[in-house]
Amino acid sequence: MRIGIDARLYGLEHAGLGRYVMKLVENILKLDKKNDYVLFLRTPHKDAFKGKNRVTVIECNVPIYGLTEQLVLPFIFAKEKLDLLHVPHFNAPLFYPHKFILTVHDLIKHDSKGPETTTRAPWLYIVKRLGYLFLTRSIAFRASAILVPSGFVRDDLIKRLKIPADKITVTYEATSSSLKDIVLSQNAAKEVLSKYGLSQPILVYTGSLYPHKNVDLLIDAVVKHNENKEVDLQLALICSRTVFWNRTYEKIKNRGLEGVVKMLGFVDDENLSKIYSLALALVHPSKLEGFGLTGLEAMSVGLPVISSNASCLPEVYGQAALYFDPESVDDLVSKIDMLIKHPDLREHLSEAGYQQVRKYSWERMARETISVYKTLLK
């Protein structure tokens, strides 16, 4: 059979979606020795699978989202005479006439809405939002099957879009292996702290700065903690995406918090591993998530995780995180203080994190995906 994968989002420049597509493609090609695959890739990645058996690469630079995607992609996909097409996001072309499956990572944009959630002009935001709402519902109904990264997203699709439960399969994602669990010497630790302008104890946040990520509450919690407690914390914000960066920076600057909150921008995995080794905990304050990869990545190197108890996060992190109410600054302050005061709790969370991460595997995700392919191709 001939299976196509829309891999235009392949690559770490596309953040979590890019990592998912990379791991999906790499593991499926490793595991499936029977089917032929057609990969639709952008120019920078078109040579990644050059010379690989049973793989055809189609250079495809159609922009992500927008009208061009809807009008041009159906012809590009149809030309390859596919038995099945996998679009690993909600943006499948509505007029593609053949069998396809989707991966729906979340429905966050259904709830995270309003002028504060966009950098677009108001009129353009309204147009794009209406297009998104129409497309997600229409495409979800047209798809032969839908993959989701958590039971929370599955239930959300069933409740919100009325998708039949038997059409949806949960394929949990996993961590990458590029972060390292390391112990730095005293001199090496000083170099890292000096390089990034940090001083211990440090809380770390890794991720984007969209409003639903709830970073403002995390900042408020650190400030309140430092006002009332003996130990002064620093917060390191690590973010590879520029969206909402300036807004967050201006808020920090206007409050005179440059010494408390350090905006580090993009940090490569080698240096991220070093920062994690020096941190007290990673805090995941988000109100909405589809999976929660950053917390698992922290757990993989022994860093304790303090997480909100919202959306899928308790499902994904299990008993390996310390949870707080994402609407309560005081609750987060109390959990931070608990972690500072109790070294045994930090050790417990660290060990529980190692165990939790082992439950997830990109290879298992790929096997489960191939199983869905097989069911549809019978």
- pLDDT, one tens digit per residue, over 177-215 is 688 999 999 999 999 999 999 999 999 999 889 899 999
pLDDT at res. 266: 87
Residue 221 confidence (pLDDT): 97
Q: Mind listing the pLDDT tens digit for each residue in 74-103?
A: 999 999 999 999 999 989 999 999 999 999
* Secondary structure of 181-220 in HEC code, one letter for each residue: CCCCCHHHHHHHHHHHCCCCCEEEEECCCCHHHCHHHHHH
Using one digit for the tens of pLDDT, what is the confidence trace for 156-165? 999 999 999 9
Name residues whose C-beta falls within 8 Å of residue 88's C-beta, 6 or more positions apart in sequence: 5, 6, 7, 9, 17, 20, 21, 24, 102, 103
Average pLDDT estimate for 309-314 = 97
pLDDT at 176: 75
Per-residue confidence (pLDDT) for residue 115, from 0 to 100: 63
3-class state of residue 146 by DSSP: strand
Helix and strand totals (H; E) in the chain? 14, 13
Task: Output the six-digit token pair for 318.
Answer: 């299990």
* pLDDT tens, residue by residue, 319-367: 999 999 999 999 999 999 999 999 999 999 999 999 999 999 999 999 9
| Stretch among 106-115, 234-243, 251-260 having the lowest mean pLDDT | 106-115
Q: Tell me what the pLDDT averaged over the chain comes to.
A: 92
Taking residues 299-315, report their average pLDDT: 97
* pLDDT per residue as tens digits for the range 256-274: 999 999 999 989 889 999 9
Q: How many CA atoms lie within 13 A of 93 on its CB side?
A: 21
What is the reported pLDDT for 127?
A: 66
The yes-or-no verdict on residue 65 having pLDDT over 90 is no
Residue-wise pLDDT for 108-151, tens only, equals 877 766 666 666 676 566 666 777 777 888 899 999 999 999 99
Cα(47)–Cα(148) distance, integer angstroms: 29
Walk me through the domains of the chain, giving residue ranges and CATH numbers. Answer: 2-174+361-376 (3.40.50.2000), 186-357 (3.40.50.2000)
Q: Are 40 and 3 in contact (CB under 8 A)?
A: no
